[in-house]
């Protein structure tokens, strides 16, 4: 959905208000124009405009329409013509009555317009209802250059009123468009403050508000992830301490037990038994030492810069050299080996010492849990920018807990019963080493054989 920016919203509201203001102004001017035209036509009913030398030809139609009157009086005060309400009682009109009529005109309900015809010596008197007078004031008489102050005063008041109304409408529209999203932002901030990090997905159609909502949403997700990660680390740490204490307990108790036995033996008479016990103590010391070293290595790998020295190297040469070093041990164990390693160089960006450690750990597992009369197949294949080293062999281990075998201190239940002295760190170290090379480790059963596959990007992929 396309997002609006605040500037667009303000501009849109401003344009709407401007259009409404201009429309109102046009309507007002138009109304005044038509009203002025009507007033103009009514002003034409004044004595000056209706004057005609032949008083009989003076048109009184419009005068009658507005309820006015028309009177023609000669210089001898004779009433020559009368249209409308009779305001004179006799003819000739008494001078006193005529004078009173003119003097009291301002107090009557009629407005009086008088014009004297010099050629034919008569007065034309037009009477109009008082409401017509206001309309006349609105009319601009161009011939005389007179401008109605009242007209401009009213126009200014209307324009100011429209401007004020436009400002109010603009404020209401702008406030309405921002009130809901800002209120939602406040609620989300309060939610985060109270420790609730499950916020709804951003849904505002205002770009700036949407960006803030998205920042809140991502922040809450990150905080929630960090909290869960911290809790998981705490649980892992507790489990790690239990596993370490358990795996160190067996060799240390064995060392202590045989040391106590040796103290109670006759060193001269039971020399052979003492040597046997010393060998057991040495073996358990080595187990404890290896466990501590593996733990130390895992801890150091949390900061790869302290452990790894990645350089261009030939992985085929390293694999061959490692297998040659372990060949006598593999052959002595009775484990037949089958190699499928290319002769040409396959270069990667890696740390030879750490990769050799990973390969050796896999070989250790293959020797420890090998099945009789089976072979260990080792292959290296370069494809699609990756190097895949696969170890496949028959194993006496059962298919349980395969998905977690690369995690620290995780061992197959069957492996625990077969070799209780293991700590379950071998494949965990392998996965850590390969991961820090940008690769992956997968393990599982395929065609009743156990397979571990190391996938590392080659130099072309990097």
pLDDT, one tens digit per residue, over 311-344 is 999 999 999 999 999 888 888 888 888 999 998 9
32 vs 253, more confident: 253
Binned at pLDDT 50, 70 and 90, residue 379 comes out as: very high
Specify the pLDDT at position 348: 92
Specify the pLDDT at position 395: 72
Specify the pLDDT at position 400: 52
pLDDT of 232 > 90? The answer is: no
205: left (phi over 0), alpha (psi -120 to 50) or beta: alpha
Say how far apart CA 346 and CA 319 lie, in whole Å. 11
* Least confident range of 221-230, 232-241, 371-380: 232-241
Say how far apart CA 55 and CA 87 lie, in whole Å. 19
For the entire predicted model, the pTM comes to 0.47
Domains present along the chain, CATH in parentheses:
44-147 (3.40.1840), 207-300 (1.10.287.130), 306-457 (3.30.565.10)
Specify the pLDDT at position 384: 86
Specify the pLDDT at position 320: 93
Q: What is the DSSP string of 274-320?
A: HHHHHHHHHHHHHHHHHHHHHHHHHHHTTSGGGT---EEEEHHHHHH
pLDDT of 43 > 70? The answer is: no
20 vs 95, more confident: 95
Provide mean pLDDT across the span 434-462.
Answer: 84
pLDDT, one tens digit per residue, over 126-146 is 888 875 444 444 444 444 444
Q: Which long-range contacts link 21-30 to residues 24+ away (Cβ below 8 Å)? A: 21/162, 21/163, 21/166, 24/162, 24/165, 25/159, 25/162, 28/155, 28/158, 28/159, 28/162
Specify the pLDDT at position 305: 57
């Amino acid at each position: 959905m396309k997002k609006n920016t605040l500037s667009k919203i303000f501009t849109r509201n401003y344009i709407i208000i401007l259009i409404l203001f201009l429309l109102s102004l046009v309507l007002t001017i138009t109304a005044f124009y038509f009203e002025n035209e009507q007033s103009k036509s009514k002003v034409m009913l004044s004595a000056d405009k209706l004057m005609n030398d032949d008083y009989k030809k003076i048109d009184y139609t419009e005068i009658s329409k507005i309820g006015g009157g028309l009177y023609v009086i000669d210089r001898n005060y004779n009433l020559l013509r009368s249209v409308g309400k009779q305001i004179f009682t006799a003819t000739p009109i008494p001078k006193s009555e005529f004078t009173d009529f003119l003097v009291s005109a301002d107090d009557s309900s009629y407005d009086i317009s008088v014009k004297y015809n010099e050629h034919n010596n008569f007065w034309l008197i037009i009477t109009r209802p008082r409401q017509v007078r206001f309309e006349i004031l609105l009319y601009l008489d161009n011939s005389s250059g007179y401008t109605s102050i009242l007209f401009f005063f009213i126009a200014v008041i209307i324009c100011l009123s429209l401007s004020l109304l436009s400002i109010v409408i603009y404020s209401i529209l702008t406030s309405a468009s921002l009130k809901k999203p800002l209120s939602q932002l406040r609620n989300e901030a309060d939610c985060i403050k109270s420790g609730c990090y499950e916020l709804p997905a951003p849904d505002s159609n205002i770009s700036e508000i949407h960006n803030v909502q998205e920042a809140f949403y991502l922040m809450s997700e990150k905080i929630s992830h960090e909290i869960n990660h911290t809790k998981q680390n705490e649980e892992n740490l507790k489990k790690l301490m239990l596993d370490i204490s358990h795996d160190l307990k067996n060799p240390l108790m064995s060392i202590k037990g045989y040391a106590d036995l040796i103290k109670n033996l006759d060193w001269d008479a039971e020399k052979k038994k003492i040597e046997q016990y010393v060998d057991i103590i040495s073996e358990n010391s080595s187990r404890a030492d290896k466990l501590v070293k593996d733990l130390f290595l895992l801890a150091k790998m949390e900061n790869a810069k302290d452990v790894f020295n990645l350089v261009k190297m030939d992985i085929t040469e390293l694999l061959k050299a490692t297998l040659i070093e372990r060949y006598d041990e593999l052959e002595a164990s009775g484990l037949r080996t089958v190699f499928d390693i290319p002769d040409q160089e396959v270069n990667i960006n890696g740390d030879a010492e750490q990769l050799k450690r990973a390969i050796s750990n896999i070989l250790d597992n293959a020797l420890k849990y090998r099945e009789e009369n089976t072979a260990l197949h080792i292959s290296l294949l370069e494809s699609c920018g990756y190097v895949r080293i696969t170890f496949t062999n028959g194993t006496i281990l059962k298919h349980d807990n395969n998905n977690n075998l690369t995690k620290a201190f995780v061992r197959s239940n069957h492996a625990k019963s077969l070799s209780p002295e293991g700590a379950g760190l071998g494949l965990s170290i392998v996965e850590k080493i390969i991961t820090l090379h940008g690769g992956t480790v997968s393990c599982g059963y395929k065609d009743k054989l156990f397979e571990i596959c190391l996938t590392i990007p080659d130099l072309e992929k990097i």
